[in-house]
Amino acid sequence: MQKTYHFDPKVIKQFMLTSAIAFGLYAGTQNMVQAQVQPQTYNQSNESIQYITGGFGNSEQNEIKAQSSNYNVHLTFADNAGAYLGNVQVVVTNQHNQSVFEASDTGPLLYIKLPDGTYNLKATYNNQTQSNTFRLQGNARVSNVIRWAPGN
């Protein structure tokens, strides 16, 4: 004797819907994993400044760090507890107080390629500004972790 199974159409419909959602989520995360962090260009007057920013998540951090040799300024934004921060506004001016780089949504990693010179960096997060002066000459690189108090 052969058994016959009857499935409730509601159960079948729910199973199909759940399967479709799961497949969509899987496909979406695969696209995110394959997304690459692309270098960007900031154009100011006659100069083009190359930079790269991002770094939320291990894969994005690894992509940015793999490109670090192309940049001579390496900045990391975090709070004092060590949590990474994004949405940091950055302005870099030269020794003549002329803006050479500006970006309004950077972090937690920001790598910039600047020509030799002396620069002033202002990084603002939640209306709190940190300032720093640095000099680049030859193959010099500058690495700095800029921190803000948690909750600011």
Sheet of 142-148, strands arranged across = 40-44, 47-54, 109-113, 73-79, 142-148
Give the three-state DSSP class for 74: strand
CATH of the domain at 54: 2.60.40.10
Whether 82 is covered by a domain: the verdict is yes
Q: Which of 44, 56, 138, 52 is nearest to 92 (CA)?
A: 44
Q: Which residue has the higher pLDDT, 152 or 65?
A: 65
Whether 47 is covered by a domain: the verdict is yes
Whether 126 is covered by a domain: the verdict is yes
- Overall domain count for the chain: 1
Whether 142 is covered by a domain: the verdict is yes
- Residue type present at position 39: P
Structural domain for 52, as ranges: 40-148
Distance, in Å, from the CA atom of 147 to the CA atom of 128, rounded to the nearest integer, reads 10
Whether 31 is covered by a domain: the verdict is no
Distance, in Å, from the CA atom of 34 to the CA atom of 28, rounded to the nearest integer, reads 10
Whether 131 is covered by a domain: the verdict is yes
| Poorest-pLDDT segment among 37-41, 51-55, 96-100 | 37-41
Q: pLDDT tens across 91-118, in order?
A: 999 999 999 999 999 999 999 999 999 9
Q: How confident is the model at residue 46 (pLDDT cuts 50, 70, 90)?
A: low
Whether 73 is covered by a domain: the verdict is yes
Whether 28 is covered by a domain: the verdict is no
